[in-house]
Chains A and B, each alone.
Chain A
C-alpha cells in the first residue's frame, strides 16, 4: 500500500509541477500581451497616452 502512495506522490509532483509551470507561463504571456495592447493604444492615441501616463 505504501508503495502505491509513494508512486502517487511522485507522479503527482511531476505532472502538477510541469502543468503548473505551463499554466503560470501561459498566464504571464497573456498578462504581458494585455499590457502591450494597452501601451500600443496609448502610443496610437498621443493625447490620451500622455494623460494616462501622467497619472
Chain B
C-alpha cells in the first residue's frame, strides 16, 4: 500500500469533542431533508402534462448534476489553494470532493439515460449535453486514476492539482452546451426567467437540491475522515518502520 503524506496530521482529541454533536445534527438534517424531498417529489408535485410520471426523475437528475458541478468546483478551489499554500489538507479536500463528484456525475448519467429511454426511446444519444457530461466524467475518473498510479506524494499532489484546475473548465462547457449547440436535451428551466416550471415543481426541485446538498456534506465529511485516517496510518507505519530499522 502506498505511503500517505506524513505532515499536517489532525488534532483528533480537540476535534472529537465537536464531532459527535455535529454528526448527529447532520444525520438528522439528512433524514429530514430526504423525507421531505421524497414527499415533495411524489406527492406534492403534480404529474406533468406531457410526460406524466416519468418527469419526476428530474428531482434526482438535476440535483445530481448540480452537486457534481459544485463538487468539481470544490476540487478546483482545493487544487488552487494547495498550489498556493502547499498544505496537504487542501489536496485531501480536492481528492475527497472529486470522488463524490464522479459519483454524482455517474448518477446524473444513469438517471438521464433512464429518462431518455422513456421519453426519446433510446438509452443514449450523442447529444452535446450528454457527450460533454460523459467527457467531464472521464476527466475526473482520469484525475482519480492519476492519483492512484503516482507513488511519489509530492508529484501526485502537484499533478492532481493541475488536472483539478484544468478539469473544471468542463463544467461551464457542460452547462452552456445546450445553448452553444443544437441539443435534444431540455434547456434550463430554473435559471432562465420564464422557464415555465410551475411553482409546485420548482419548490419540489429546490427541496431535492437541498437534500442532495446535505448528502454531499455528509459524504464529504466521511471521505475527509477517511483521508485523515489514511494519512495518520502512513505516518504511524513510517514511525514503526524507522524504529524497527534502528533496532536492527
Interface residue ranges, A against B (CB under 8 Å): 2-4, 6-7, 9-11, 13-14, 17-18, 21-22, 25-26, 28-29, 32-33, 35-36, 39-40, 42-43, 46, 49-50, 53-54
- Nearest opposing residue in chain A for B114, CB measure: A10
Residues from chain B with a CB closer than 8 A to the CB of A26 are 222
- Assuming A17-B110, A25-B226, A43-B240, what are 12 further A-B pairs, CB within 8 angstroms? A3-B54, A10-B110, A10-B115, A13-B110, A14-B60, A18-B107, A18-B215, A21-B103, A25-B219, A26-B222, A29-B226, A43-B243
Partner of B103, one of A17, A32, A35, A36: A17
Q: Is the interface of A mostly helix, strand, loop or mixed?
A: helix
Q: Is the interface of B mostly helix, strand, loop or mixed?
A: helix
Residues from chain B with a CB closer than 8 A to the CB of A25 are 219, 222-223, 226
Cα A43 to Cα B244 with chains together (Å): 10
Residues from chain B with a CB closer than 8 A to the CB of A18 are 103, 107, 215, 219
Query: Of residues A6, A10, A33, which shows the largest number of chain B Cβ atoms within 10 Å of its Cβ?
Result: A10
CB-CB contacts below 8 Å: B215-230 with A: 215, 218-219, 222-223, 225-226, 229-230
